[in-house]
């Protein structure tokens, strides 16, 4: 089939988390073909990424034939190369991610198969899900058995105690064997991370996430042995297999977390997995409980672990994708419907 139209839209969100997200949150990419089939993808980068798709990359895709996954990889290479002067990292690749995912959705729908089947043999059934957020009690009530809570270090001695209190509470709520993780969102530094590993030792934390910025690869590499057995995790702000090759060369991370809607889509995800395999690094995609990562997880050697973000009890959320799989008893799997198996909520476009 030939691509006939490409269009990116910034959805009408009512509920987006603050900070950079209010300006640069997720976009929808719609790709039409002469077969009549339409594919939808999810990218990052907000209205800036919408401009990248609608004013540059989209027209490069129109007219191309997409008949198998090799064609998608070729299209990815073309778009990546064309955006090199302003792309490679950040918004250019976030835009490309949405286009790549729309192509996988399109091909899956055209062939009547789920994306995970296009990727390869199924390696997992239901994936162990972990709930990310601050409402630990609610997640436990919903049946989650693994949990990651956020923690910010603002330079106060009291910030150590809040980490201890939250870890202690999570341990009580989820029990002694549950995986408990902490996302610091780049707010810790090396001394804080080492001190935290001492103070939190009794809570058996599985990983510390994003303790430094993604530019501090050597710094993170040096922390790995200092906080062992806690893992140094990160990668949601890294892009493509080129970026993760640097992560591999520096040995920066124990566990890699590419975001499939930011790092270059499924195509980049597969290439990142190749790089990871070369150094024996486990990969657990950021927001892997959303269909974009979940299809990759169940058809690859990704870790059997999918992140689910639920917000907090009673707090309203936008429902952009209808038919998303939900975790039951702490496990989640994609549907076998064609493509990614979700339908965009047109009212938000
Ligand atoms: Mg994170």
| Residue 21 pLDDT | 86
Question: Does position 17 have pLDDT exceeding 90, yes or no?
Answer: no
Measured in Å, residue 309 CA sits from the centre of ligand 1 at 10
pLDDT, tens digit, for every residue of 70-100? 999 999 999 999 999 999 999 999 999 999 9
pLDDT, tens digit, for every residue of 152-193? 999 999 999 999 999 999 999 999 999 999 999 999 999 999
pLDDT, tens digit, for every residue of 23-52? 899 999 999 999 999 999 999 999 999 999
Q: Is 84 left (phi over 0), alpha (psi -120 to 50) or beta?
A: alpha
Measured in Å, residue 322 CA sits from the centre of ligand 1 at 24
| Residue 261 pLDDT | 98
Strand, helix or coil for residue 12: coil
- Band (pLDDT 50/70/90 cuts) for residue 339 is very high
Is the pTM here over 0.85, yes or no? yes
Q: Which helix (H) or strand (E) holds 76?
A: helix 69-82
Alpha-carbon torsion, ordered 185, 187, 190, 195, to 10 deg: -100
In the chain, what are the domains? 3-112 (3.30.390.10), 119-348 (3.20.20.120)
Question: Does position 18 have pLDDT exceeding 90, yes or no?
Answer: no
Measured in Å, residue 43 CA sits from the centre of ligand 1 at 17
Measured in Å, residue 209 CA sits from the centre of ligand 1 at 6
Question: Does position 19 have pLDDT exceeding 90, yes or no?
Answer: no
Strand, helix or coil for residue 256: strand
What is the set of active-site residues? 286
pLDDT, tens digit, for every residue of 217-273? 999 999 999 999 999 999 999 999 999 999 999 999 999 999 999 999 999 999 999
**For the chain, counts of helices (H) and of strands (E):** 13, 13
| Residue 231 pLDDT | 98
Measured in Å, residue 236 CA sits from the centre of ligand 1 at 7
Give me the chain's average pLDDT, please.
97
For range 11-34, the mean pLDDT? 92
For range 279-293, the mean pLDDT? 98
Q: What is the rounded end-to-end Cα distance, in angstroms, of the chain?
A: 26
pLDDT, tens digit, for every residue of 300-334? 999 999 999 999 999 999 999 999 999 999 999 99
Measured in Å, residue 68 CA sits from the centre of ligand 1 at 33
- Band (pLDDT 50/70/90 cuts) for residue 145 is very high
């Amino acid at each position: 089939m030939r691509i006939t139209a490409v269009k990116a839209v910034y959805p009408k969100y009512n509920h987006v988390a603050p900070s950079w997200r209010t300006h640069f949150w997720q976009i929808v990419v719609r790709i039409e073909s002469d077969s009549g089939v339409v594919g939808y993808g999810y990218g990052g980068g907000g209205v800036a990424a919408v401009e990248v798709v609608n004013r540059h990359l989209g027209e490069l895709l129109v007219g191309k034939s997409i008949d198998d996954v090799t064609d998608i990889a070729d299209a990815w290479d073309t778009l990546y190369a064309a955006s090199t002067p302003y792309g490679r990292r950040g918004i250019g690749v976030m835009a490309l991610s949405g286009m790549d995912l729309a192509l996988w959705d399109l091909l899956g729908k055209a062939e009547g198969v789920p994306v995970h089947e296009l990727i390869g043999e199924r390696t997992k059934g239901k994936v162990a899900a972990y709930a990310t957020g601050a409402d630990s009690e609610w997640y436990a009530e919903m049946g989650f058995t693994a949990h990651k809570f956020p923690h910010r270090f603002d330079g106060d001695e009291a910030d150590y105690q809040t980490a201890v209190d939250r870890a202690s509470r999570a341990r009580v709520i989820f029990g002694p064997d549950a995986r408990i993780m902490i996302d610091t969102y780049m707010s810790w530094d090396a001394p804080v991370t080492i001190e935290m590993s001492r103070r939190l030792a009794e809570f058996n934390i599985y990983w510390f996430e994003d303790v430094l910025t993604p530019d501090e690869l050597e710094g993170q590499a040096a922390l790995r042995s200092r906080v062992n057995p806690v893992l140094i995790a990160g990668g949601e702000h890294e892009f493509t297999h080129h970026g993760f090759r640097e992560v591999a060369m520096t040995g920066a991370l124990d566990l890699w977390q590419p975001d499939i809607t930011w790092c270059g889509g499924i195509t980049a995800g597969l290439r990142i997995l190749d790089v990871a395999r070369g150094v024996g690094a486990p990969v657990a995609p950021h927001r892997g409980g959303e269909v974009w990562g979940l299809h990759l997880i169940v058809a690859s050697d990704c870790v059997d672990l999918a992140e689910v973000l639920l917000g907090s009890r009673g707090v309203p959320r936008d429902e952009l994708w209808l038919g998303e799989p939900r975790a039951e008893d702490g496990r989640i799997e994609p549907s076998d419907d064609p493509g990614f198996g979700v339908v965009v909520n047109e009212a938000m476009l």
